Amino acid sequence: MSNNIVIILISSLIILSFFFNMISKKTNIPSVLLLIAAGFGIRVSPWFAMMGSAVDIFLTLNILGVIGLIMIVLEAALDLKITRDKLPLILRAFFISLFLLFVTSGVVGYIIHRSAEIGFRDALLYSIPLSVMSSAIIIPSVARLKPHTKEFMIYESTFSDILGIIIFYMLLDWFRISELKAVMIETAGKIGITIAASVAVTFALTFLFQRLFNVINYFLIFAILLLIYAVGKEFHLSALILILIFGIMINNKAIFFRGIFHRFIHDETYTAILTNIKLFVKDTAFVIRTFFFFFFGLSITPEAFLNLNTYYVVTLILVALYAIRYFNLKILYHAKIFPVLFIAPRGLITILLLFSIPEHLIKDQFEGDITFMVIIATNLIMMFALMRQRVLVNREGLEISPEPPEERIENSEEETDKEGNESAELT
Q: Domain coordinates of the chain in residue numbers? A: 3-426
Asked which of 205-214, 269-278, 357-366, 369-378 is least confident by mean pLDDT, the reply is 205-214
Cis amide leading into 30 (omega within 30): no
Measured CA to CA, the distance from residue 148 to residue 335 in angstroms comes to 10
Q: How many residues does the chain have?
A: 427
pTM of the model as a whole: 0.82
Of 172, 143, 305, give the one whose Cα is nearest residue 236.
172
CATH of domain 3-426: 1.20.1530.20
CB 262, CB 5: distance < 8 Å: no
| Inter-residue contact 77 to 247 (CB < 8 Å) | yes
Most confident region among 136-140, 311-315, 359-363 by mean pLDDT: 311-315
Structure confidence at residue 50 (pLDDT): 64
272: number of Cβ within 10 Å: 16
Is residue 34 classed as helix, strand or coil in its secondary structure? helix
Mean pLDDT across the stretch 152-172?
88
**109-152 pLDDT, tens per residue?**
999 999 999 999 999 999 999 999 998 889 888 878 888 898 89
- pLDDT for position 120: 95
Look up residue 194 and give its amino acid: T
Map residue 22 onto helix, strand or coil. helix
% the chain with pLDDT above 70: 85
Which of these, 100, 91, 171, 183, lies nearest to 358 by C-alpha position? 171
CB 250 within 8 A of CB 210: no
User: Considering Cα of 262, then 268, then 273, then 278, what sign does the dihedral take?
Assistant: positive
User: Residue 394 and residue 84: Cα distance in Å, rounded?
Assistant: 33
- pLDDT tens-place string over residues 218-231: 677 778 878 878 88
pLDDT score of 237 more than 60? yes
Contact 33, 380 (CB under 8 A): yes
